[in-house]
A and B are shown apart, each in its own frame.
Chain A
Amino acid sequence: GNSVTQMEGPVTLSEEAFLTINCTYTATGYPSLFWYVQYPGEGLQLLLKATKADDKGSNKGFEATYRKETTSFHLEKGSVQVSDSAVYFCALIKDSNYQLIWGAGTKLIIKP
């Protein structure tokens, strides 16, 4: 079946460090891929998305590239800020289905 695997957290970094959060998926066909972010005490917000192979989604300095050959969608940011502290979720959706399939989430802690 379809599934999403994320690196376990928490990930703790210093401000201005480079961030990578790994995400791999299992799915038949060509799913669309998403990163959502959940700030403390808030709901889920769409961070970025990619709908086909080699697409790069980007937003707020975050980027992720849809790599079909490695079934990956790793989230990166060149210089993180304390305000980036949150839980990040990788998710996929199939064209033939209507539900988002989620990873377990990765908690990111940025220290000043």
Chain B
Amino acid sequence: DAGVTQSPTHLIKTRGQQVTLRCSPISGHKSVSWYQQVLGQGPQFIFQYYEKEERGRGNFPDRFSARQFPNYSSELNVNALLLGDSALYLCASSQRVAAGGNQPQHFGDGTRLSIL
């Protein structure tokens, strides 16, 4: 079975632009989470979606938004890009909402976003 797939793998944008990142979860997984990983740091939680509803939001500005589609794939949108948005954006899926340790999250390889 295919794992979590993310596209594109790399992206270069300039300040002020907008970007859309895409994620396809493992087949049968209904929950998708997004994380931002700045170089040399651990991931920071951005959003979690389950059954097309937002179930959790991290401490990120309103420039960040996301949605989940009926096929459980997801998009992360970032508006008005800043230099500080340069990071690896990771998508993770799990079968159900990741409540507790019994729903481990499976990660994609990420999208490397560079802001010039």
Contacts and interface: CB of A to CB of B under 8 A. Distances in A.
Contacts of A50: 101
Contacts of B48: 98-99
B99 interface: yes
Contacts of B43: 44, 89, 100, 102
A103 B42 contact: yes
Interface in A59-112: 89, 91, 93-105
A55 B58 CA distance: 29
Interface in A21-76: 32-34, 36, 42-46, 49-51
26 contacts: A32-B101, A42-B109, A43-B107, A43-B108, A43-B109, A44-B90, A44-B107, A46-B104, A46-B106, A49-B104, A89-B43, A93-B98, A93-B101, A95-B100, A97-B56, A98-B48, A98-B55, A98-B97, A98-B99, A99-B56, A99-B58, A99-B98, A102-B43, A102-B44, A105-B41, A105-B42
A49 B101 contact: yes
Instruction: Say which size band chain A's interface belongs to.
Output: 20 to 34
B42 A34 contact: no
B interface SS class: loop
Given A43-B4, A96-B99, A99-B58, 16 more contacts: A33-B101, A34-B101, A44-B90, A44-B107, A45-B107, A46-B104, A50-B101, A51-B100, A89-B43, A91-B42, A99-B45, A100-B45, A100-B98, A101-B45, A104-B41, A105-B41
Interface of B: 4, 33, 35, 40-45, 48, 55-56, 58, 90, 92, 97-102, 104-110
A89 B104 contact: no
B21 to A, nearest CB: 14
Contact of A95 (B35, B92, B99): B99
B97 to A, nearest CB: 6
Q: Which residue of A46, A94, A100 has the most chain B CB atoms within 10 A of its CB atom? A: A100
A50 B102 CA distance: 9
B25 to A, nearest CB: 13
B101 A100 contact: no
B42 to A, nearest CB: 3
